[in-house]
């Protein structure tokens, strides 16, 4: 089993889990799904830089082959943005819960069937 297959499988599992959780009805599961999806994107960006072993990370005149630092910089930036996005989503989720008393995405309590409300 090759490394590329393992990385692609991990990305696929993270995307599937992120989509599944994002489609759930509770807000915490949606935030968790978005986080998993962002981890998949980070892993994809990192793997797109052609993972290499034994090469210098920085270019110099004596080194002819070096690792590409751009995917690493993109992933680092994406991690910081994801942290900020997750913090904002959690604060909005908490505010919505405190105002409505429910953690459902649509704001309706899960105990009542939708037909009884009309």
* Torsion, Cα of 57, 63, 65, 71 (10° steps): 20
Torsion region of 76: left, alpha or beta (phi above 0 gives left; psi -120 to 50 gives alpha): alpha
- The 10 Å Cβ neighbour count of residue 118 is 4
| pTM beyond 0.85, yes or no | no
Domain layout of the chain by residue ranges: 3-51+67-105
Domain covering 3-51+67-105 in this structure, CATH number: 1.10.287.3510
Residues in contact with 90: Cβ distance below 8 Å, sequence separation at least 6, in sequence order: 31
CA 78 to chain centre: 9
In three state form, how does the secondary structure of 87-101 look?
HHHHHHHHHHHHHHC
Summarize pLDDT for 56-115 with one digit per residue, the tens: 767 677 777 777 778 888 889 999 999 999 999 999 989 988 888 888 887 666 665 555
- The 10 Å Cβ neighbour count of residue 38 is 19
Instruction: Please report the pLDDT score of residue 74 as a whole number.
Output: 86
- The 10 Å Cβ neighbour count of residue 98 is 8
């Amino acid at each position: 089993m090759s490394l590329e297959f393992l990385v692609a499988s991990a990305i696929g599992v993270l995307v599937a889990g992120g989509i599944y959780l994002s489609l759930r009805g509770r807000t915490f599961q949606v935030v968790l799904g978005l986080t998993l999806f962002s981890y998949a994107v980070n892993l994809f960006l990192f793997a797109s830089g052609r993972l290499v072993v034994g090469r210098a990370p920085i270019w110099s005149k004596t080194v002819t082959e070096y690792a590409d630092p751009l995917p690493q910089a993109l992933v680092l930036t994406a991690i910081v943005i994801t942290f900020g996005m997750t913090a904002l989503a959690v604060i909005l989720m908490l505010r919505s819960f405190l105002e409505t008393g429910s953690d459902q995405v649509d704001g309706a309590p899960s105990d009542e069937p939708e037909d009884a409300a009309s």
